[in-house]
Structure 1
Amino acid sequence: MISTPLTAELVLGALELERTERGLVPHRLPARARAQNADPRLAMAEAQPAGVRLRFRTRADVVELETLPTKLVYVGAPPRPDGVYDLLVDGALTAQASVAGGNTVTIDMATGASEHRAGPAGTVRFAGLGGHPKDVEIWLPHNEITELVALRTDAPVEAVPGRGRRVWLHHGSSISHGSNAASPATTWPALAATAAGVELVNLGFSGNALLDPFTARALRDTPADLISVKLGINVVNADLMRLRGFGPAVHGFLDTIRDGHPDTPLLVVSPLYCPIHERTPGPGDFDHEALALGEVRFRATGDPAERAAGKLTLEVIRDELARIVAQRQAEDANLRYLDGRELYGEADFADLPLPDALHPCPAAHRRIGERFAERVLAGA
């Protein structure tokens, strides 16, 4: 087997590669942004390589990727399955595999305490690929921090020349990150990018689409041909701000993006349909009765009457985002608004309900991806 050094030429979708003693950790926020963040949830989310994939050209019949994953364990919750590695050959999903073991972070949701335990690296092995020339992609697990240790093949590999594809830069919440998707290549942004033939850079951060200025600067500084920002749900379920603060924060976020992308098509997407937060403010919380039965579900704990005092709901968020975009369009011809319910609405909920009351199922991810590709990416 031939070992090939892992370099930025082979790793797509990451904003930065951190060199470690053993290999590389792909990051979806640059070091300067990470230094300004004090939230361990965001630190974990940005290091989970949603949308990050290895791509190379080879005649290899056998491909091995050695990694050191970091897996999450929630006290009292059902065990999470191992992260999935999707193998695509010439664009077609061909095989899947997982790495057992690795590091673990055990989180007590009642206290917020966490414990880290070191574990061994492991290897995913794909064989029987044939000795013909082919483009190979390995999409890394979207829900596990993944340290890349070694790439081994039975034939040489080389970087794939640029394809001239448009780059789609997307920011969003856990749904954009891929929560409840079956695998990394079947999150809705990955499916939309594949359908439209664009290169995805996914800055979807579970629980952390919170209008952080350092995230806006990361979007500002990342080359892109199309940018979309899906805003609102995390601001509601974190109960982060009131209406008075939300509007100016959105303006500031968009202003920062425009500092680096003055004319790039920019799409603001409001929240998908989510009954628990449509008219009920946050904060969101686990449904502890369901958790005691081994089932993960979420609930809204706010009081709908508090909307009068400026508390945010999804209905309020959509109205405010539509107003802001309409106002800015007078000076920004490349700014658009999309109501998230066009991607997943009330009828979709009746057909494909949210399994945990917050995140879409794999079939809904596919539906959302197909709609976004058709309504946004195809005409961009």
Structure 2
Amino acid sequence: MAYFKDKLINANNAKKSDNFSCPVCKGKVVLKKGTIMSPHFSHQKNSNCITLIEEGETEEHLLGKQQLYFFTRSNKTLVENYLPEIKQRPDLLYKNLAIEFQCSPININKLEHRIHGYEKQQIKSLWILGSRYKKRFGQPSTNKFYYYFKKLGFTMFFWLTSKNKLEIRYNCRYVYGKIKYQKIEVSSLHELIQFLNNPGMISHDPINIHSLLEEMRKLQNQLFYQNKKALELQNNCYLHGHNINGAPVECHYSHTSNPVLGKEYLVWKIILLNELVDGINYKELLDRTNDICKLKVHYPLINNPQKFILKEYANLLSILSKKGYIRIIGDRIQIIKSLNWFDDYYQKIQKISQCEGAFVDRI
């Protein structure tokens, strides 16, 4: 967008002229309208406009912003509208919703700063990711863009420039250490809102002994190939006289976890049981486990992400209590009977394989 005769004009609709100016710095900008890149305005050399950091955009970003403008289906949507109070310029601004099409890398601190800036202006932000992030789905660099909705669970948004559609990946969860999700594509903001309100059926994952055994084998392989983190956790178990691969079967009673714990869910439960001693404060047990597992929780688009760890913690303590292993008195955990740790991976595999039907019934 640029000013032309005191009116904002979209690069798509603009014609060659020398009278375009930047909406932010009021300096002269040049219309670039060719056959390779999407139409856009560019500052002249030596400009000191604060928005210059965003120039040199990729074709995906330029095209995506134009497509998202039509995605809102409103002529009241503002493109690259500068907000001087917070010195930010969302890709699009629709009413009190800032839409950001994120294609390039952004660190967690800058992301948090941008989100909090919008919040100061009572503006919600919708972060939609490009192809770079789509390829890295499930990795830490992408996980910081998770949303959480009560009806959808953990959710992430991707813009598909080739289809001119928004892909919604929802009900994201880890099952036996592997990420799973449902997805749907929508063509307008109205469709998106309708889906958020009425998502339909949410999938659930049945118990699968073969997947359980595969998850255990992965941990065994990490030790075999001298994985540094796995060895550190194994040494922690040794201090209590346990083998990390001989953890009690109660670790496997819950096989699905949220992305906050992700593929580390099994190890997190093993370490927690390893640190469980009679009379321990239940908050101390959780804090110690999180420290040992080096658990980092950075989800700036989710309100209080720690609650998802607390939920998994409460579920595990509930299992142990129902099975008669512990009782909680005040803020202390009392051990009633000891959990059964196996000598090694092979003993545990043999036991579970022999009692497969009984194991599933116990879960």
Interval of TM-score (by shorter of Structure 1 and Structure 2): under 0.3
Q: Give the TM-score taking structure 1 as reference length.
A: 0.26
Structure with more of its chain in helix, by fraction: 2
Structure of higher CA gyration radius: 2
Structure with more of its chain in strand, by fraction: 1
Highest relative contact order (Cα 8 Å, sep 6+), 1 or 2? Answer: 1
